[in-house]
Amino acid sequence: MDISSSSSFHQAHKVSLLRRQPSSPVNSVSVIGFSLPQITSPSLDKCRRKGSSFGVVRACVAVEEKTRTAIIRIGTRGSPLALAQAYETRAKLQAKHQELTEEGAIHIEIIKTTGDKILSQPLADIGGKGLFTKEIDEALINGHIDIAVHSMKDVPTYLPENTILPCNLVREDVRDAFICLTAASLAELPAGSIVGTASLRRKSQILHKYPSLAVEENFRGNVQTRLSKLQGGKVHATLLALAGLKRLSMTENVASVLSLDEMLPAVAQGAIGIACRTDDDKMASYLASLNHEETRLAVACERAFLETLDGSCRTPIAGYAAKDEEGNCYFRGLVASPDGTRVLETSRKGPYVFEDMVKMGKDAGQELLSRAGPGFFGN
């Protein structure tokens, strides 16, 4: 399928909505933050009483040993997309470093975050910043993991003390994908159609351009969950980051891809960031071998814009920086009222150099703050 062009869904696509899961094998995986069932049996109880090392007990010991002896312990959320990103990180590390290809050299630690645990409320109502990173950051600081793999758009503009984020992998497509069983684009949806999204950025831009549509704004869950809700008729359409669908090999679900003029992406959308402790030179060296500098600079520009606006989940903000044909940085930024009645945009162009790009992001943010005026965003 050519995902850069519009095409309607056929009924046969329904069966493909939920079928894809990351298929990469995991040599060593454990879980933090989940309540796991207790395994009990007479033989296991006997095994425990005798101090035997076979069966489940032996398996548990093996996992613990593997975790302790791993060269790199990767911390990640447990969603299929988060795991796909952790697998990608592992594969890139193994491609660069022979010693990491040994069995058990890289251990993946699944950590359940606040954002994963509370799904019944909009993100803005449960705190916004750090909902998908806090517990992973704590595991990193406490030494339970060595590196943390994040979707950069989930990372607050501040980093926890004693951590750094020196690495961004090559950025995926930043655009949003339109997913619907009955229409090929937002423009084709009949008046009154309901679009599901948990993003105020998407909501405000949808309502600004298509005021006849309605938005269900607590449309939360991982990609598979949201596609299931769509298939079940809870909404008529939804928008998802194209980058995530590509990483999950689920682009067959895309009806069309929205242009940057129709939907400016979230700050750092499509970028994976990898953090480590400030004093861990070994991990910093590993991450330096993976860093894609063009992506890192673009993300830094966008995050400077977001930080200047003090953006939260209650603030519709979009921003995108990229290298143009002349090798310069071109940045576009947007802020909106949550109902989409007001949208303010600006742009900047300058050298593709870290200091210049951070300055551009900050300057664009200051301009929109001034134009928006007090009380523009509300609470």
Count other C-beta atoms under 10 Å from residue 269's C-beta. 26
Look at residue 323 and give its three-state secondary structure. Answer: strand
Query: Which residues belong to the active site?
Result: 154
* Residue ranges with strand state E in the chain: 29-32, 72-76, 106-111, 147-151, 163-168, 176-180, 194-196, 214-216, 237-241, 256-257, 272-277, 317-323, 329-336, 343-350
**Residue 240 half-sphere exposure toward CB, CA atoms < 13 A:** 29
- Say how far apart CA 16 and CA 196 lie, in whole Å: 19
Count the residues in the chain: 379
Sign of CA dihedral 21, 2, 15, 9: positive
- Say how far apart CA 36 and CA 24 lie, in whole Å: 23
Q: Which amino acid is at 101?
A: T
- Say how far apart CA 29 and CA 106 lie, in whole Å: 9
Asked if 98 and 106 touch (Cβ cutoff 8 Å), the reply is no
- Say how far apart CA 348 and CA 151 lie, in whole Å: 25
Q: Is 198 left (phi over 0), alpha (psi -120 to 50) or beta?
A: alpha
Among 136, 156, 157, smallest CA distance to 147 is for 136
SS3 content of the chain, % helix, strand, coil (to 5): 40, 20, 40
